[in-house]
Structure formats: C-alpha cells, structure tokens
Structure 1
Amino acid sequence: MTTTDNKILTSAIETYRRYAGQPTLSDIESCRQDSNDEIVHLTPYCSTMDLVKLEDLTYTRSFTYSLKTRQLLFTSNVTPINKNIVRRLASPDGKYVALVTKETKGEQELQYAQIWHDEHLIFGYEVSDSKISPHGKILPKNDYASFFEWSPDSRRLVFTAEEKRKPLKSYFTADKLDEIGEPASVYRENWGEQMEAFETSVVCIFDLDTKKVQLIENQPNDLYIGQSSWTTNPDELIFVAFRLEPYRLGLIYCENRPSVLFKCNWRNNEWKQLTDFDPLCRLFPRHLPKTDNEFVYVQTDIYRAHAQCKRLVLFNTETKQEKILIDRVDNVTYSNADPFRAEWDTQFKGLHMSPPRLGYSSDERYLLLPSYYVVHEMFLNVVDYRTPYRLYVFDLKSLSKKVKDPNDWYLITEHEFKTEEKNRIEWNVDRFFPDNELIPVESVYVHVRDT
C-alpha cells in the first residue's frame, strides 16, 4: 500500500470515527421546579457508538434552564446509562423517579421496580414476587405497544406489563413439579417486526398514596392495549387498543392498522369503548390538560400507505363527537420553476408525525405539532383547536431575523388570524453550545402575552 493510499485510508477511518461518535438524541425528560414555570430541568438521553466494544452506548446529562433570564444555570457531568435499565421516568413535578431494572440469575431474567424520592428509595419490589406484583415483566419502551407514564399530579404511574405466568423451567432444573410452567417449546405469538418482546399486555397502576400496585381488571381479552393518555380526572385514562385475532398485524412503522379508543376508570375497573373498528386508525391520544372530556388524536385510513398523511381530530368523550382540526393533504401543486420545487412558503404538506406529549401552550389554546417537509426546511404547526380548520405554519428560520416579517406566518385555511391575537403570540429561540460541542442545543418557545 502506497503512502497516498495510507493517507486516504487513515482519513476515511478518522472521518468515520468522528461521525460514528456523534451523539444522537433518543429521548428527553422535562420537569418544572416552580409553579411559575421559570425554572426548567431538561434531561436528554443520547446514543452513540463505542467502536472499541462495537456496541451502542446511551448516556445522559442534566440541564437547568431559566426561562426568565434565558440562561443555562447548571449542566451535570455525562452519566452513562446502565444497559440493565428497562424504564426510567421522572415525574412532572420532578420529585419522583420511577425505575425498572433487570438482571439475569441462572436461567431467569429478573426485574426490579423502584420509586425514588430525591435520594431516597421509598418503594420497590421484584416483579416475579407474586405477593406484591400482580403482573409479569414490565414492557420496554415502544411507541405503539407499551407506555410508562406519570399522572399530571405526579401521584400515580400507569404502565404496561406481561400477564403473570410461571417462569420457563425445565423438568431437570425445577425444584418442584408445580414450578414447571409452560414448556419452552410452546409457541407464543408476538407482534414481530422488531417487537418480538411484546406478546401480552396488561395495564397496571402504581398509587403513590397507598404504595400499592394494582392490575386494572375487566380489560378486553381479545385486544392489546398499546397507548395511553391521562385525563383531567386522576382516576381516568384514554387507551388505544389493537386487535389480536384472527392474527396480529405489524405495528411498528404501520400507522394504518384498525384500532379503537377506550376510556377507563381504573379505580372502578370500568371500561367504556368510545369508537368502533371502522376503516380508521386512531393513535397518539393527547388529552387537553385543563378541559374535561376532550382530547386530540391522530387519525389515518387503514390499509393505505404506512407513512400516509394524517388528520388531527378533536374528540369529546361525552358526546363521542369528532371534529377534524387538520385534514389530510393528498396533493400539492408544483410550480413551473425548478424541477421538483414546490411553493413551500404557501402550501401546507400535511401532518406526518405524532404529537408530542407536552405540546400544549400554558393557556391550553394552542397545540404545537412537529412535522417535516424537506431536509432544508424546519416548520412548526400551531393549531388553534377552539376554531376547527384553523392552521398556521411558521418558518423557524425567520427566528434569527432581527426584524420580524409578518409574512413569516403562512396561513393555510381561509380563516384570518385576528391582528390582536397575532400580535400576542411570541416566538423565541434559545441556542447554546454545551462544552466544546460543534452542534448546538436549541429550544423553541411559543407563548401568548397576557393583555
């Protein structure tokens, strides 16, 4: 190999190492410290690659940020995440942390659930302990087949787990005959397609007041509960359920499967079916934080394209009425200028992503929805759900302008934005570079000034 070849090879290796080691954001936790929302704690989880061990690594570091002064107050050291952590979630008030870990002992994989308050472990149990745990293994994170969510008041935790069953033990390793569960050779149907760990699903509640874990009973046996959303009533939740029979259709990347919505009172074990199995897929319910009996969800047509354009629907649980806030967009009009160049500034391309869990403005009127169009454009969609069919798109690139251009708001529907309302909305972007990182951390804040 010549010297030139060596230089090229070395350069290629260094380039790969540099970009392979670049972290990517995989998850983030956010909690408030005070009632005025002036102090925010952010805990991002980033993934990177260890080229020595040839494995993926996950680490986290915490940021404390002041919304009032727009300053970063504190940054913690980088903390690697143990691979044995199945679930971890801080409560909305930041006082509690729910943690699920795993470890292997002999033939068994054991799980341990813990609730921490500050530096104190206030509750914990082994999942296989039949005296305390009414469920099997707690399911890992998946957007379609599991959930692990604190209630808005930080007093209860809802999560999905497997059904309680005997561990797999052979005749030769079991101490007693009654310890022998289902034979290991018996097939157990799962969701497949990167979801082999998801077989059964039961919904459980941990009550911080009673320090007890209970199974929500009367769950439909022929359905799989995969998504949830707390309501304004701390005793009620909204669930999304999928069919199990006659066979399971893939869920991951498949937002076109039949699904139904349920409303459940976990104290009374009451399940109320809100919708039927019609030709619609309903996903990602997000309850309005201050309004009873109303939530928004994403709707698509079943058996069409997997990544099809979505509708945003407002649902009333009392009347079961639905209002389409954002309809699907089937086509866009292309200009006669450059090939494959649409009139991006004046056309809305539709929703193609799920709504965030913390997407409502403080006054509950506006909902922020992320979406994507082309690589070089960044947009946020703001929905005023009080008036159906009202949608506006704002170009985030204009945030860097010193003089705001009113044309940076792009109206999608026929309703005009009232001048007094438009002038009350403020957009701010904060950008800082942690340590010597080349890629900045950016936060976008949208709020409405009080008159």
Structure 2
Amino acid sequence: MASGTQRGAGSWGQPAEGQRSSPGACYRELSRFPAVSCAALGATAGGQGQGQGQAFLLHTECRQPDLPRRRLLRFSRHYSVQRTERGLAISRAALSTEIHNRLLGQDSPSGQRRAVLVRRPPQGHELLEVWDGSGRSHCVDLTALGKHGAVYTEGPFACLAWSHLETQLLYVAERSRPTLPAACPGQVPGAAEPAEDEDEEGEQFVYHEGWGEKLSTCSAPVLCILDIKSSSVSVLESVPEHVSPGQALWSPGDTGVVFVGWWHEPFRLGLSACSNRRSGVFHLELAGGHCELLSVPNRASFSPRLSPDGQRLLYLEGAVGGPHRQCLQLRLLTWQTRQTVTVLDVVQEPTGSESSFTGIYTDALPLQCWAADSRRALLCTPQRSRTDLLLVDTETSTITNLTAGSPEGCWELLTIQWDLLVATCSAPHHPPSLVMAELPPLGQELPLRWVPVEDTPPVPGITWKTLTVQQNSAPHSAGPQTFEALLLSPTGGTTPHPLVVCPHGGPHAVFDARWRPSMAALCQLGFAVLLVNYRGSLGFGQASIECLQSRVGEQDVADTQVRSSKQVLMVGR
C-alpha cells in the first residue's frame, strides 16, 4: 500500500516463553482495536468530486469493546481527502468523538446534509434530525407525532434514505398499535374507558407474531416518509397486506418507492440469517398508490441498489426453501423497459483455480455499490476461506477480483462515492485497517493502489495459513470432497503447541481469514487454532452447500475430526 495517514498501535510487548500474560489481560490488549462500521464521503464547496484537486471530507463511525463497563463504545473519526496528480492525500481532520444515543445516520446524495435518528432520555423519544454546515436545521419528535411505533434501526428491514431532491426521508417503523393508557388522576385502576375507546379496549394485549430470532419485536413494519420542510410524517398504506416492507429507496424522480417485501405465509418466524425466505422487489407509486412486483414471483429477491443515472436496478436473488443461506444470483433490471437479466448466476462447483469465482454469498450489497459510470458495481463476498472485493461489469458479466492474492484475508467495502473506494481489510494476525483507493477507468482497474487511512500494524507472534483437505469418500459423504481450514500458530519456541479446534456454526456459514481477537489471544497464550470450513460452508459453491443437507452432525463432524487428527501431528512437529 502507498503511504498515507498511519496511526500505529505502538510497539507490542511480547512475553517470553514461560511468561505468558493472563488470558484476561491478553484478550483486553487484543480487543482494543476499533472496527469501522460505516463511512461516508462529503464533497467540499469545490464541487461534486470531478477532476483533479478535489477535496473531500471522510466521516467514519467506529466500534470498540468497552470491557470494564461491558458495553460497545461508538465514536466518530473525520479525515480530509485531497485528489492530487500523485494520488490521494489523506490527513486526520479532527479528534475522535464518542457517539451518544444515535440509532441511524445517513448522508444526503450531495454530501452536504446528514440525517440522524437519536433517542433522547429520559422519556426515550425518537427524534429525526437534519444537520448541515450551519448546525442542526430540523428536528422532528417522531414519538410525539404518534404516527407509528419504534423505528427499525438494524436488521433486514431497516433503512434511512434521502430523496434525490433532498427534501424527504424514507424509513421503516413498526405499525402503530393501541397501548395501555396511563391512569388519569382520580381514576380508579381498571375503570372502564370512555365509550369511543371501547372497540380498542384490550387490543394492547393481543399477541402479534414477530419475525423470529433477533427480530422478535418486529411484526408489522410500515414505510414512512418525513417531509423535511413541513416536519410532517406520512405512513404509506398502499403496501400489499401480505408482505412486510423493508430496505426501501426512492425511485427515479422521487415519484415512488422501491422496497423489498417478505411474504407472511407460511409464517413470519425465521428471517434473520435466512436468505431463503420468499421476498420480492416492489415499486410503489406515490401518486396513485399502484404497487408493482418488479422481480419474478416465488423467489427470494432483496438488497435493491439504484444506479447513479437512475436507469438500472441491481439486486440479489436466490431460491426459496432449502439451505437457510445459499449461493445467490446478481440480477439487473432496466428501469424504463422493466427487463431483467442475470448478471452473475449461481456457481455449482468452482473450477480448480484458486482465483476462480466461487459465487455470491453476501447478506446484502453495499449501500453505495455503483461506480460513477452506472455500469460497474462492487461487492464483497466469501471466496473460499477469504472475503474479497469484486468488481462486476454489468454489461459483459465479467468479474475482476480487486483483492485476490493480497496478504489481508478479509476485505469489506464501506462505500464508493465519486469513484473513491473506502474499505477495511484485516487478517488473523492483522487488526482492521482503513484504506482508500481511486477506481480507474473501465478495463484499467488492476492494480488498484490502496492508500492507508488508519493503518494498524500486525500482531507479532502469530502466523497463519490456509490448508486444503482432500476427504476420502465414505458412506456419509456426498458431493465435493475438498474443503479448507485456517491454521493460526504461535511463532517461536521449540515445544509442541496444544491445538484448539473450532468448527463454525450455521451450519451454512464460513470462517474467513479476518481478525478475531479471541483467536489471536489463544495464539498469544501458546495455543494453535484450527478454524474448519467443513463441506457445507459458504464460499465453495452451491454443490458444497447442498451436500450437507440430511448429513448435519455427521459429515461436518467427520470433516472436523479428519482435519483435526491430521493437524495434531503437524502442529506437534
């Protein structure tokens, strides 16, 4: 990487062999590295980011464990970014500041305004605020308006989207329901309510089916629009009653809303971490209330992203039923003609090459994923035991892996604006670093020149490598016979290392080569760690996922045992 702003963590105090730190102290030391959760670029008064010499402001939000207080510390960092003939020049623009009570945040398309949803104690009211260069310009107490319940701030439904004209905000909240009224002074508890409320008496005790694990408070989401000038909120009532809406954005010209709708049938339970629930991409016209299904029926379609020119809609699509997470298609809809094509299809079995494309397994496309040419798009997805950044030409369906072969095993795109990429990268021995790059013209993307913004040094005393395992055929085995594992080992010393074996949960998940403080701590304490991506893990093709069906608890266990028994001998040498 080229030089830029580097904020190292300082020198490491590596204890001598036989003088290991306590487990608690070791974990506290290794968990102090912040992870960047989101980033946004804003153009300065010089324009919209075209040409050389353009200045930008980079805003990031970070999360860091606060172990003594058992909470997650959230804070912001700000940087100044300058395009020059030599490339990007980056410097810290302000000191870090802690973020309090903020639930959601989103910058406007021009980068000149920011919308934030905050919760104000002690009543806990939710306020939607708009900030610009002069300070806070608008503040609306959503709770006091009473148009809906709590705003969705995380999970598959949540969104906060600016209209293209930056006059309205779109978000998702729980439908308003009757609540238990507070007792009036002098009123006897349990006394009858006035006649006009008799129809709703007791409704606050009715059970409403939620959307399951991590979404138990989400039952009936509704689309809501805040008009910034009038500070008024409207709930869109034309959404079909058989679906729950989420992941909404504005259609071209701000005449409608594009959203994802999840079918309620056969039941709501079980949406978290399940890309196999029936869903579709819809378009709702604001004027007439007409709602149109844009994607094909009886599929799982989600994560819509509109191109900068408003002519193309990109989204992910998969099969309904089967494994809870699967290999997905990348679909493209032309807005004017409503014609849909498959840009990238499901990969059944990747080719033997390590750099070959293995399919899409991500939960969602980045919120900002389109290049300025409205032709190329970027996404991050597991590719075997790595998570790589891929560039997709939507016209030719060609893929360029921008991070293949890099020493970092996990790349996550935070945003791309005005063809400036902001990403984080990490490895099992390397805490996350924040980096930036300029996206070159079409056909000239490689090599991509990454510039460090916050560069964290590697942790000494840890080495890692990817192991490929060839499993022999057995009565409980089917499909592909090859899988992988990540081996983390302490460096130095002559005595054998005890081995800790970790199969991931899911079972359709993956251990990618990212930074994990708990695993690094085990290495610092003298253990070797084996992270097993048994057959059925994401990132190795759809055939690998399906071969685990009806064999959970047998094939995955056998793969882990085979890998572990072989590795015990290797680590002990």
- TM superposition score normalised by structure 2: 0.62
- 1:168 maps to what in 2? 180
Partner SS, residue 187 of structure 1: coil
SS in 1 for 2:26: helix
Task: Quote the Cα distance in structure 2 between the aligned partners of 1:298 and 1:43.
Answer: 28
Whether contact under 8 Å (1:170, 1:183) holds in the other structure is no
- Structure 1 match to 2:283: 263
| Deviation digits for residues 173-218 of structure 1 (CA, Å, limit 9, x no counterpart) | 8979368865654322211211123122111112335443222232
Out of 280, 294, 297, the residue aligned to residue 274 of structure 1 is 294
C-alpha distance in 1, partners of 2:399/2:116?
A: 39
Q: Does 1:51 align with 2:67?
A: yes
Letter aligned with residue 401 of structure 2: V
Give the corresponding residue for 2:166.
Answer: 154
CA deviation digits over 1:76-110, x for unaligned, max 9?
2121121x3222222232322222222455xx642
Q: Following the alignment from structure 1 to structure 2, what is the Cα–Cα distance between the partners of residues 29 and 167?
A: 38
Task: Tell me which residue corresponds to 1:224.
Answer: 244
Task: Pick from 39, 47, 60 the counterpart of residue 28 of structure 1.
Answer: 39
Q: Secondary structure at the match of 1:372?
A: strand
Structure 2 segments unaligned to the other structure (5+ residues): 1-14, 409-440, 460-573
Aligned to 2:273: 253
Determine the structure 1 residue equivalent to 2:499: none
1:330 positional shift: 1.2
Aligned-partner Cα distance in 2 for 1:439–1:153 = 45
Residue in structure 1 matched with residue 370 of structure 2 by the alignment: 360
Alpha-carbon distance in 2 for matches of 1:9, 1:390:
50
The C-alpha deviation readout for 1:119-178, integer Å capped at 9, x for no partner, is 433322322334xx5333222122x12211123443321101122334334658897936
Match for residue 290 of structure 1?
309
Q: What amino acid does structure 2 have at the position aligned with 1:427?
A: L
CA deviation map 1:13-41 (0-9, x unaligned): 32111122222222223333332343332
**CA separation in 1, counterparts of 2:183 and 2:93?**
54
Q: Deviations over 1:43-88 (max 9, x none)?
A: 2222111121122221111122123351114332121121x32222
Distance in 2 separating the partners of 1:363 and 1:210: 35
Q: Is the 1:232–1:289 contact (alpha carbons within 8 Å) kept by the matching residues of 2? A: no
CA distance change for structure 1 residues 396 and 224 in 2, over 3 Å: closer, same or farther?
same
Contact 1:165 1:181 in 2 (8 A): no
Residue in 2 aligned with 1:71? Answer: 89
Once the 2 structures are TM-superposed, how far is the Cα of residue 356 of structure 1 from its aligned partner? 1.4
Give the corresponding residue for 2:358.
Answer: 349
Equivalent pair of 1:231/1:288 in contact (CA under 8 Å): no
One-letter code of the match for 1:327?
A: D
Shift of residue 9, structure 1, vs aligned partner: 7.0
Aligned with 2:28: secondary structure?
A: helix
Q: Hey, what's the Cα distance between the residues in 1 that align with 2:407 and 2:29?
A: 30
Unaligned runs of 5+ in 1: 335-342, 401-419, 441-451
| Equivalent in the alignment of 2:474 | none
From 378, 381, 385, the counterpart of 2:390: 381
Residue number in structure 2 paired with 1:81: 99
* Deviation readout 1:242-278 (Å, 9 max, x if unpaired): 1123421422110111012211223443322224541
Asked whether the 8 Å contact 2:377–2:392 carries over to 1, the reply is yes
TM-score (normalizing by structure 1): 0.78
**Which gives a bigger RCO, structure 1 or 2 (Cα 8 Å, sep 6+)?**
2
Q: Distance in 2 between matches of 1:352 and 1:302?
A: 15
1:41 and 2:57 correspond: yes
Kindly, what percent of the aligned residue pairs are identical? 22
1:185-224 mapped onto 2 (5 Å cutoff): 185-224=205-244
CA distance in 2, matches of 1:399, 1:421: 25
Q: 1:141 and 1:311 mapped to 2: Cα distance?
A: 24
**Amino acid in the other structure paired with 1:392:** T
Q: Which secondary structure does the structure 2 equivalent of 1:77 belong to? A: strand
Change over 3 Å in CA distance of 1:39–1:399 after alignment to 2: farther
RMSD of aligned Cα (Å): 3.2
Match of residue 448, structure 2, among 424, 427, 442: 427
**2:177 and 2:204 in contact (8 A); partners too:** no
Q: How many residues align?
A: 395
Moved more, 206-215 or 366-375: 206-215
Partner of 1:443: none
- Equivalent position of 1:60 in the other structure: 76
Instruction: Label 1:185 to 1:399 Cα distance change in 2 as closer, same or farther (>3 A).
Output: closer
Confirm or deny that 1:15 pairs with 2:26.
yes
1:321 aligns with one of 339, 343, 354: 339
Q: Give the whole-Å Cα distance in 1 for the aligned partners of 2:120 and 2:208.
A: 23
SS of 1:177's partner is coil
Change over 3 Å in CA distance of 1:183–1:213 after alignment to 2: closer
